[in-house]
Amino acid sequence: MSYRLCAASGESIRCAIIGAMSKSESTSSHGSLIAVVVAAALVIVLALLSAFIWPGWALNKAPAQNPGAQKSSEAPTTPSITASPLPSDASELLKAMPDSVLNFARTNAAPSTNWSAATPIEEYTVTYGTGTAADTITLVTAQWSSADEAKTQYDSLAGSMTGQELGAGSVKVAGSATGSYTVKTDPADSGKAVALWQNDTVVFQATGSKDAVERFYQKFPL
């Protein structure tokens, strides 16, 4: 403001008042500016706290685990290879052998004589696999004319198994016990296992890697 307006003595009081008002207005404006700056700074600080401390929306957080992804890592239940056909003259026992068990598909089936000393009516060696050599299951199966004869063979084979026991119990069909089963590791290789079970007149013996055998025998339908 120009002080030339205050040259007259009669105006000196008025000039002083105007000067005081001007200073008061300046102080008030300055105070308001500080308040605005402080408020803006407070907003910024709160925004930063919200972004990086709580709830922390700006941080790169690992996504929640998807249950579907967990399932995808589980062992598959359907085969990726086609089951080999049975011989045209396959017996009823051989025809009863499933094409697949979980992701294990039948890769071969042929008559065998592993248990010929026990005089079974018929005996076969059936192999199952996933396409990976480590997952190959060798299944020997044979049938006798009576459940007692089959049990005799089962007891003989079970008695010769000396590895660590992985499971044992009764085989049940429709709630009735029709035989027994036992699963043990291979004493020569703890990474392998043998599952042996009797179901009425038939005896089965599955051999392969421990993981493969444990999955296979529990889902085998006979």
In this predicted model, what pLDDT tens digit does every residue of 151-190 receive, in sequence order? 999 999 999 999 999 999 999 999 999 999 999 999 999 9
User: Rounded CA gap, 99 and 140, in Å?
Assistant: 15
33 pLDDT band, cuts 50/70/90, is low
User: Does 121 lie in the same domain as 195?
Assistant: yes
18 pLDDT band, cuts 50/70/90, is very low
User: Does 208 lie in the same domain as 104?
Assistant: yes
Cis peptide before 55 (omega within 30 of 0): yes
Would you state the structure tokens that stand for residue 22, as one six-digit string?
Answer: 């001007």
Dmax of the chain from CA atoms? 142
User: Does 148 lie in the same domain as 44?
Assistant: no
User: Does 90 lie in the same domain as 190?
Assistant: yes
- Domain total of the chain: 2
Taking residues 122-151, what's their average pLDDT? 97
Residue whose structure tokens are 């992701």 = 103
pLDDT of residue 44: 72
Nearest alpha carbon to residue 118 among 141, 149, 91: 149
User: Does 82 lie in the same domain as 170?
Assistant: yes
- Encode pLDDT of 107-133 as tens digits: 999 999 999 999 999 999 999 999 999
pLDDT of residue 75: 81
- CATH code assigned at 200: 3.40.1000
Please report, for residues 17, 140, 142, 196, 207, the alpha-carbon distance to residue 200 in angstroms, rounded to integers and kept in the order given: 118, 16, 11, 13, 21
DSSP β-ladder status, 100-101 and 104-111: antiparallel
Residue 38 exposure: Cα atoms within 13 Å on the Cβ side = 6
Phi-psi region of 174 (alpha: psi -120 to 50; beta: other; left: phi over 0): left
Number of Cβ within 10 Å of residue 211's Cβ equals 14
User: Does 210 lie in the same domain as 106?
Assistant: yes
Q: Which range marks the domain in which residue 204 is found?
A: 78-219
Residues 6+ apart with CB under 8 A from 179: 147, 150, 151, 154, 170, 171, 197, 198, 199, 200
Phi, psi of 9 (to 5 degrees): -65, -35
User: Does 188 lie in the same domain as 121?
Assistant: yes
- Encode pLDDT of 179-218 as tens digits: 999 999 999 999 999 999 999 999 999 999 999 999 999 9
Contact 170/192 with Cβ under 8 angstroms? no
User: Does 193 lie in the same domain as 86?
Assistant: yes
User: Does 125 lie in the same domain as 194?
Assistant: yes
User: Rounded CA gap, 39 and 42, in Å?
Assistant: 5
Percent of the chain beyond pLDDT 70?
68
The model's pTM is 0.68
User: Does 122 lie in the same domain as 164?
Assistant: yes
Average pLDDT, the chain: 82
